[in-house]
Structure 1
Amino acid sequence: MTEKTALFLLASTRVDGVLGNTEALARHAAAGLPADVTQHWESLARRELPAFVDRRHDVGSYPMPEGDALELLQLTLAADELVLVAPVYWYSLPSPLKLYLDHFSAWMRVPGLDFKARMAGKRCWLITTSGDRAKAQPMMDSVRLCAEFLGMDWCGALWGKGGAPGAVEQDTEALAAAAAFFETRR
């Protein structure tokens, strides 16, 4: 049996050490992963990604990234599965996740990297929380479309009730869904 790697990308901007609802829900789900899946947890808010500059139509190609951007690129390419752990912020993606995804446009244009081809076939999951599920739908659709564009296997979204830290622990439906979330596409 080949060991797999799941890269959990935490997109919350919460950095005060308090476990947020989305990460708590993700950790419930991760407990159900098989033993042959190595988990790597990475906080995007703690990384220093440069602002994305769109040069696709004037320069065309991009240089290989450096620093934290290079490390995130390497982690992304090494992973078999990407698990985006992102609370809903203003009906959309938190800025650390949006910036990370924006860099995909550059990584697709680094000569010889073949980023898009190397992403094809990887599994992509989303774990999110918000005040109500309807408010999370635009973000879920956005992540699904990104995964489909890259030829990734979109495995779905897990939603739970958010709010103040600890609120998701009262969402028994979300916790039950988390326990079986990764089983749905294995």
Structure 2
Amino acid sequence: MRHYLFLIASARHGGNTEQLARQAAQGIPDQMDTTWLRLRDYPLQPFEDWRHTTGVYPQPEGHARTLLDATMAASDIVFVAPVYWYSVPTDLKRYLDEWSAWLRVPDLGFRQGMHSKRFWTIATSAGTPEQARPMLESIRLCVSYFGAPFMGELLGNGSKPGDSLNDPVVRDAAQRFFHQ
């Protein structure tokens, strides 16, 4: 059975990106599990790169452990991220940085576990779709590192509160997003 993990990376509760994600999630069949985690509620420390010193990372603890467990339990990971300065929000970047550590935790099996997951991105941007490309491509490249399938991206406009659901084309695309 599929289990969707929605990782909300917005600095605003209930913002355009989250609204768009919740609209899209309505298309997930009821028998499938969904988990919603706001990354801001699980703050991570800045990543320290030990690859060239110890080369090994300890078992994650605290918020890192919570996020790792949720990641490993999911079949589908949905990045819910507004475009911030043409890039991912800080909370999502710190989560992605943790992947470097989790790859090097003995007996964790992170790489193998990630290979079988499906990945999705739901984003909003106040700019043009071309201006969102760097962020979207960054996420795609992170996913491709594991050879995991990237299922698609849903991009809406989010200049003012509520904008993401005002566009009937985007709203329709949201309703069909998870039907792949």
Q: Same fold (TM over 0.5)?
A: yes
The count of residues paired between Structure 1 and Structure 2 equals 179
Tell me the residue number matched to 2:131: 135
CA–CA separation in structure 2 for the residues paired with 1:125 and 1:95? 19
CA–CA separation in structure 2 for the residues paired with 1:69 and 1:95? 15
Tell me the residue number matched to 1:177: 173
Equivalent residue runs for 1:45-84 within 5 Å = 45-84=40-79
Instruction: Give the residue type in structure 2 aligned to 1:128.
Output: A
Partner secondary structure for residue 124 of structure 1: strand
Tell me the residue number matched to 1:168: 164
CA–CA separation in structure 1 for the residues paired with 2:156 and 2:119? 18
- Equivalent in 34, 37, 50 of residue 42 of structure 1: 37
Partner secondary structure for residue 123 of structure 2: strand
Equivalent residue runs for 1:93-104 within 5 Å = 93-104=88-99
Instruction: Give the residue type in structure 2 aligned to 1:115.
Output: F
1:153 aligns with 2:149: yes
Q: Which moved more, 1:113-122 or 1:163-172?
A: 163-172
Instruction: Give the TM-score, by structure 1 length.
Output: 0.94
- Equivalent in 117, 141, 144 of residue 122 of structure 1: 117
Tell me the residue number matched to 1:9: 7
CA–CA separation in structure 2 for the residues paired with 1:106 and 1:161? 34
Partner secondary structure for residue 177 of structure 2: helix
Q: How much identity, in percent, do the aligned residues show?
A: 47
Partner secondary structure for residue 39 of structure 1: strand
Q: Deviations over 1:141-186 (max 9, x none)?
A: 1111111111211001100011121111211111110000011x2x
CA–CA separation in structure 2 for the residues paired with 1:37 and 1:92? 31
CA–CA separation in structure 2 for the residues paired with 1:48 and 1:94? 13
Instruction: Give the TM-score, by structure 2 length.
Output: 0.97
CA–CA separation in structure 2 for the residues paired with 1:36 and 1:98? 31
Q: CA deviation at 1:134?
A: 1.1
Instruction: Give the residue type in structure 2 aligned to 1:58.
Output: T
Q: Which moved more, 1:149-158 or 1:83-92?
A: 149-158
CA–CA separation in structure 1 for the residues paired with 2:52 and 2:112? 21
CA–CA separation in structure 2 for the residues paired with 1:97 and 1:66? 18
Flag structure 2 segments of 5+ consecutive residues without an equivalent.
none
Flag structure 1 segments of 5+ consecutive residues without an equivalent.
none
Q: CA deviation at 1:48?
A: 2.1
Instruction: Please report the RMSD computed on the Cα atoms of aligned residues, expressed in angstroms.
Output: 0.9
CA–CA separation in structure 1 for the residues paired with 2:38 and 2:149? 23
User: Which segments of structure 1 move beyond 4 Å, counting only runs of 4 or more?
Assistant: none
